[in-house]
Amino acid sequence: MHRYPRWPIHLTLLGVSFVMLVPFYWVLKTSVSGENIFAYPPSVIPKNPHLFYYVDVWYYIPFARYFLNSVIVSFLCVAANVVFNAMAGYALTRGFAGKSLVLMLFLSCMMVPFQATIIPAYLMTGRLGLLDSHLGLALPQMSTIVCIFVFKASFDAVPRSLIDAAKIDGLSEWRIVWRVMMPLAKAAIATNVILGFIWSWNNFLWPLIVTRSADMQTLPLGLARFLSYQEDTTGALYAFCIMVLAPGILLFLLAQKEFIRGLTSGATKG
């Protein structure tokens, strides 16, 4: 089927790509020049680009602190997701009394978006004494149902005879999960890591509610706060924006296939 001409397709896609990329360029340009914050008309190509705004960010805000908080919370989320979801996913491959009840509970929990529970979730976190702590920030996202099912599907594909062989060799259930199942579920682990990371790294609403002190702010919070203090008066805001976006874009480009597979399998996150 090579009869249709190609150039209209390329033209359309180039146009769309342009629309997708221009906002990045515009912000990048402002972050290295800051020139059109006060001046009209804006220049399309930056004159005298400089990196002073990137330096400013370090003076205006504790960027390293925000970054560290984000890393700690994301790490807690990712590690907990892999371990807890793998355990639950393995349990669901077994037959046991009450399994259908658990499955029903999981499937109905998927219908409850986090936004529908924020008030009691906040009060609950307060009762647990976890407000304004890394653990409190991470806890609600430490296990996700979609990811449990990703692990379950992956474990279901492991042949039964392999597990039986491991049992005859005297491995405990715990070791079967870690030594036999996990190495065979690399794709599921990658999906868990990526989803856990994206959901915690980008999360804004929950940190906004739970965080009290400036020391506990994560990157999205710091960005929003910086905006409310400075409005659009400084190029440093856009430099900050680029500094926040760059690691994400880099990670995405490095592991594109895994990202896309992970995100599509976690499409209907509850």
Which ranges of the chain does DSSP label H, i.e. alpha helix?
7-33, 52-60, 63-93, 99-110, 118-127, 134-138, 145-156, 160-168, 173-175, 186-201, 205-210, 219-230, 236-254, 256-265
Binding to another protein (CB under 8 A): which residues in 170-199? 173, 177, 198
Kindly tell me which of 9 and 214 has the beta carbon lying closer to another protein.
9
Binding to another protein (CB under 8 A): which residues in 90-149? 90-92, 94-97, 102-103, 105-107, 109-124, 128, 139-140, 142-143, 145-146, 148-149
C-alpha 36, offset from chain centre: 33
Number of residues that bind another protein (CB under 8 A): 104
Shortest reach from residue 212's CB to another protein, in Å: 12
Shortest reach from residue 55's CB to another protein, in Å: 19
Between CA 89 and CA 69 the distance in angstroms is 29
Binding to another protein (CB under 8 A): which residues in 200-239? 201-202, 204-205, 208-209, 219-220, 223-224, 227, 232, 237-238
Binding to another protein (CB under 8 A): which residues in 72-91? 80, 83-85, 87-88, 90-91
**Burial class of residue 254 in the structure, from the number of CB atoms within 10 Å of its CB (0-12 exposed, 13-18 middle, 19+ buried):** exposed
**Torsion angle of the four alpha carbons 38, 39, 44, 50, in this order, in degrees rounded to the nearest 10:** -50
Kindly tell me which of 12 and 51 has the beta carbon lying closer to another protein.
12
**CA angle, residues 74, 78, 81, in degrees to nearest 5:** 135
Shortest reach from residue 84's CB to another protein, in Å: 4
Shortest reach from residue 43's CB to another protein, in Å: 10
- Please select the residue that binds another protein; options are 76, 185, 189, 244, rule is CB under 8 A: 244
Kindly tell me which of 215 and 232 has the beta carbon lying closer to another protein.
232
Q: Which residue's entry shows tokens 């597990």?
A: 163
Binding to another protein (CB under 8 A): which residues in 26-45? 26-27, 30, 36-37, 39-42
254 binds another protein (CB under 8 A): no
Between CA 215 and CA 16 the distance in angstroms is 41
Kindly tell me which of 148 and 180 has the beta carbon lying closer to another protein.
148
Kindly tell me which of 54 and 201 has the beta carbon lying closer to another protein.
201
Kindly tell me which of 51 and 112 has the beta carbon lying closer to another protein.
112
Between CA 114 and CA 146 the distance in angstroms is 14
Shortest reach from residue 182's CB to another protein, in Å: 13
SS3 206: helix
Kindly tell me which of 60 and 114 has the beta carbon lying closer to another protein.
114
Sign of CA dihedral 62, 64, 70, 76: negative
